[in-house]
């Protein structure tokens, strides 16, 4: 989630695997290099950077079928009907997301494609929500490491914090939170015709935008249900949902999804439409200091079930911002300030 407004960075425009990236350059430990050239280069005519060269080498060494250019469909893993996701599933030991995604900066808000090859997430200078931006990384296969991440150029604003993305299943619609002021955060939407194309200029999401704080969006697989967090500077984080009849229509006014009450808080939802579950983050149902990942049964129009703690949550560590990709039987989540993954 986002809470503020300023940013200073050194950027370089770079197209990469279907997303036009602004690759951030800095020291090996992830810190910005104060000596870096601050002049963005023309993404249509620029010298080859070391980051670009490494990606180009990966493409050259790609297995038969060619590099990841977004124009080819990789086989989508099938979900084993014997082991659907549930709050009671047993997870493999969690490990850091492999590759160049995790740095000494903070990463959160992950969204993983159904083939496991494209990861969208938020990245910011450690402890500074004002520098938060929407990042993208890709890889050749599910078994490969991810490339270094970089900001998506068409969603990048030099002085505006943004993050916590959710996408449609075909990755042509992206919804994310964007800071408007110190007291207002809104959901914005951008579209594209294919993953090889840039996103359109982002616009406030009609139907759910208010003068309060709306953040942490999660879009259903069919794009017709949106679950998100709404609160004010004085009220607790609560989950809301809105529906629409088709992808081209406006969402209905949001309705409270009564997961929490009183002073309890719930945020960072992940709506698993096919399973009738909503995952969320809270420290009010199990721990009083570190946050946990919990799940409730729910579908629009149905009563909310009792919160259940996911077994991925540890007694001594905080986890949150979970995203489950049922096609891969994989969960990606935040532990500490980095992205972790596990299978079930």
Q: Beta-strand (E) ranges in 143-264?
A: 150-151, 162-167, 173-181, 184-191, 203-204, 213-219, 225-231, 238-243, 255-256
Residues 172-184 pLDDT 10s: 999 999 999 888 9
Kindly report, residue by residue over 287-316, the tens digit of the pLDDT: 667 889 999 999 998 989 999 999 898 766
pLDDT in tens, 29-48: 333 333 333 333 233 333 33
| 315-334 residue pLDDT tens | 667 899 999 999 999 999 99
Determine the pLDDT at residue 241: 97
1 pLDDT more than 60: no
> Rounded to an integer, what distance in angstroms lies between the CA atom of residue 216 and that of residue 239?
9
* pLDDT score, position 264: 85
Q: Strands 277-282 and 330-335, how do they pair?
A: unpaired
Q: Which fold has domain 76-343?
A: Tachylectin-2; Chain A (2.115.10)
Consecutive H or E run containing 267: strand 267-272
Domain coordinates of the chain in residue numbers? 76-343
Instruction: Point out the least confidently predicted range of 10-14, 234-238, 239-243.
Output: 10-14
Q: pTM of this prediction?
A: 0.78
Mean pLDDT, residues 188-209 taken together? 95
Q: What is the mean pLDDT of the chain?
A: 79
By the 10 Å C-beta count (0-12 exposed, 13-18 middle, 19+ buried), 60 is classed as exposed
Distance CA 184, CA 103 (A): 29
């Amino acid at each position: 989630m986002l809470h503020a407004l300023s940013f200073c960075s050194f950027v370089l425009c770079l197209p990469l695997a279907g997303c036009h990236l602004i690759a951030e350059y800095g020291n090996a430990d992830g810190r910005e290099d104060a000596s870096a050239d601050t002049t963005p280069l023309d993404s249509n005519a620029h010298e080859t950077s070391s980051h670009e060269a490494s990606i180009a080498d990966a493409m050259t060494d790609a297995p038969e079928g060619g590099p990841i250019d977004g124009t080819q469909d990789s086989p989508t893993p099938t979900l084993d009907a014997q082991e659907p996701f549930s709050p009671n599933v047993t997870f493999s030991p969690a490990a850091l997301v492999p590759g160049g995604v995790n740095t000494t900066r903070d990463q959160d808000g992950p969204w993983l494609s159904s083939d496991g090859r494209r990861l969208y997430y938020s990245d910011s200078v450690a402890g500074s929500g004002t520098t938060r931006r929407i990042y993208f990384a890709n890889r050749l296969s599910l078994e490969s490491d991810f490339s270094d991440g970089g900001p998506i150029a068409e969603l990048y604003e030099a002085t505006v914090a943004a993050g916590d993305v959710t996408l449609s299943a075909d990755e042509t619609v992206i919804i994310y939170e964007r800071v408007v002021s110190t007291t207002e955060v809104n959901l914005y939407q951008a579209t594209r015709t294919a993953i090889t194309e840039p996103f359109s200029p982002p616009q406030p999401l009609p139907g759910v935008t208010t003068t309060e704080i709306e953040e942490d969006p999660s879009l259903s697989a069919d794009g017709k249900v949106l679950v998100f967090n709404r609160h004010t500077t004085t009220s607790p984080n609560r989950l809301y949902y809105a529906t629409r009849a088709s992808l081209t229509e406006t969402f209905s006014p949001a309705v409270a999804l009564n997961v929490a009450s009183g002073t309890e808080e719930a945020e960072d939802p992940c709506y698993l439409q096919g399973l009738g579950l909503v995952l969320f983050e809270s420290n009010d149902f199990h721990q009083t200091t570190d946050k946990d990942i919990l799940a409730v049964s729910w579908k629009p129009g149905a009563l909310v079930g009792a919160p259940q703690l996911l077994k991925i949550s540890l007694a001594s560590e905080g986890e949150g911002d979970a995203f489950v990709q049922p096609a891969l039987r994989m969960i990606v989540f935040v532990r500490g300030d980095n992205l972790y993954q596990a299978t079930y």
